[in-house]
Structure 1
Amino acid sequence: MTDWSRLTLLDGPATAPIDLDTAKRHLRIYHDDEDEHIQLLLDAVTAFVEGPNGIGLALTPQKWRLSLDSFYSRNLINGFSPAYGYGAAYLDVGAIYSAISIPLGPTTSVEQVSYTDDTGAMHIVPADQYVVDIESTPARISPLYGGMWPITINYLGAVKVDFTAGFASTPADLKAALLLLLGHWFENRENVVAGERAVAVEVPFTVETILNKYRVGRFA
């Protein structure tokens, strides 16, 4: 199991990065006949870019849960291990440092860290017993200096981290990438466009360039 498969959406975004009116202006559509289709494409474009199945970003604020088997789970972040460098098979954080990395960003807050102890009882770790670094990428959570995480049951999903991720205001270049991709999909409604010669319909290079700037953790 990778960090990407450990994420669960708890509360979806209240706002979209691009609204229907903005999308229609970009497409130069001045009637309502295609609103349903444009909204469908807009949702698809957002899903293509957002979240663990996209580029590892939350485009607008939303709540997620990270599930770990213990506070010292082996997990790979960005293919990088502080001990072994890029390309390491895994990072044993317990052997190096006891920080939990949150693979989805930008993380803006951690609401709760909970765990199941060795008797099967669930507890919430008091917020004054750990520190959160949301300025790093990925964001990290660590016990206070000199402290340790509690002992957990040896079972799947023993540790849960509830957090909020997402831009307060989606960056302009990401919005541009969404609109460019929207326009591309609107004009090319099949995988292959037939004309004088068949042309493969791919994600525009400009879109890929922008997304690669923000892509987190892996190439989707």
Structure 2
Amino acid sequence: MPIQLVTPPTEEPVSLLEAKLHLRVDFDEDDMLIASLITAARQAAETLTGRQLTTARWKQVLDCFPGPSLMGVPAGQTFTLPGHAILLAKAPVQSVVSINYLDMGSVNQTMPALTYTVDAACEPARITPVFGQIWPICLPQIGAVSVTFDAGYGTASQVPEGIKSWIKLRVGSLYAHREEVAALSRGRIESLPFIDGLLDPYKVVTV
């Protein structure tokens, strides 16, 4: 589903100083390069995990509200992914800023916050109308619904260390091998299989 970055994060989960300590670099000439590699590694980690690391604002665009609008939880089930739930594409979700839609008159409307509920503890986060409410009728047109939300762990200090370790290792690889390919003394490159496993506990599982 289309998702747009509205407000990018204001800090990276790994600082320039932390990256330089990991790289054992004690000069400043490569600071701009290392900073760009941190950003590239962070974006790769976010893509692989489906997460936002430090706080950013996103907009998720839908063609319509999901259905069917069946309320309640089926008997005997303690957790469901109901068909009328909107699932947000980034985790962890901090808050939903707004839900907007085009009504049948092509006028942009904002849903009152009291008419829907957000389960941010679930990953991906779920949004449904509150009990007794249904999704409004929107214009049958592509991109008629949008959800704006803030996602991320918060500040850099709140990002899990496992993700930070992966970013540092990726920065180290990018810094050591600055071209598309690299030739080692033995004529081949061997990846360390445990590296990407550092991200496994943080991958958002979608159904």
Offset at residue 113 of structure 1 (A):
0.5
Aligned residues of 1:193 and 1:201 also touching (Cα < 8 A): no
Offset at residue 118 of structure 1 (A):
1.1
Equivalents in 2 of 1:195, 1:210: separation in Å? 25
Task: State whether structure 2 residue 58 is matched by structure 1 residue 70.
Answer: no
User: Which structure 1 segments of 5+ residues have no match?
Assistant: 75-92
Of the three residues 116, 120, 129, the one matched with 1:130 is 116
Query: Which stretch has the larger CA shift, 117-126 or 181-190?
Result: 181-190
Of the three residues 177, 188, 192, the one matched with 2:177 is 188
Q: Deviations over 1:67-111 (max 9, x none)?
A: 00011179xxxxxxxxxxxxxxxxxx8xx5311110211111001
Cα separation, partners in 2 of 1:195 and 1:133, compared to 1, 3 Å: closer
RMSD (CA atoms) = 2.1
Tell me: higher relative CO, structure 1 or 2? Use CA pairs within 8 A at least 6 residues apart. 2
Cα separation, partners in 2 of 1:129 and 1:49, compared to 1, 3 Å: same
Of the three residues 15, 22, 28, the one matched with 2:18 is 22
Equivalents in 2 of 1:156, 1:102: separation in Å? 18
Amino acid aligned to 1:72: P
The alignment partner of 1:24 has SS state of: helix
Q: Deviations over 1:139-186 (max 9, x none)?
A: 011101121010000001111100000012111111011011111222
Aligned residues of 1:192 and 1:199 also touching (Cα < 8 A): no
Aligned length: 192
Determine the structure 1 residue equivalent to 2:71.
none
Amino acid aligned to 1:17: P
Equivalents in 1 of 2:182, 2:143: separation in Å? 46
Amino acid aligned to 2:193: F
After TM superposition, the structure 1 = structure 2 runs for residues 208-219 of structure 1, keeping only pairs within 5 Å, are 208-217=196-205
Q: Deviations over 1:36-71 (max 9, x none)?
A: 221221121112112xx4431101000000000011
The alignment partner of 1:184 has SS state of: helix
Aligned residues of 2:104 and 2:138 also touching (Cα < 8 A): yes
Aligned residues of 1:68 and 1:157 also touching (Cα < 8 A): yes
Cα separation, partners in 2 of 1:45 and 1:73, compared to 1, 3 Å: farther
Q: Runs ≥4 in structure 1, deviation > 3 angstroms?
A: none
Task: State whether structure 2 residue 161 is matched by structure 1 residue 207.
Answer: no
Q: Deviations over 1:6-61 (max 9, x none)?
A: 100000011111111111011111111221221221121112112xx443110100
User: Which structure 2 segments of 5+ residues have no match?
Assistant: 69-80
Aligned residues of 1:59 and 1:170 also touching (Cα < 8 A): yes
Amino acid aligned to 2:123: T
Equivalents in 2 of 1:73, 1:144: separation in Å? 14
Determine the structure 1 residue equivalent to 2:161.
172
Equivalents in 1 of 2:106, 2:19: separation in Å? 50
Offset at residue 127 of structure 1 (A):
0.3
TM-score by length of 2: 0.85
Cα separation, partners in 2 of 1:201 and 1:8, compared to 1, 3 Å: farther
Query: Which stretch has the larger CA shift, 29-38 or 12-21?
Result: 29-38
Task: State whether structure 2 residue 19 is matched by structure 1 residue 33.
Answer: no
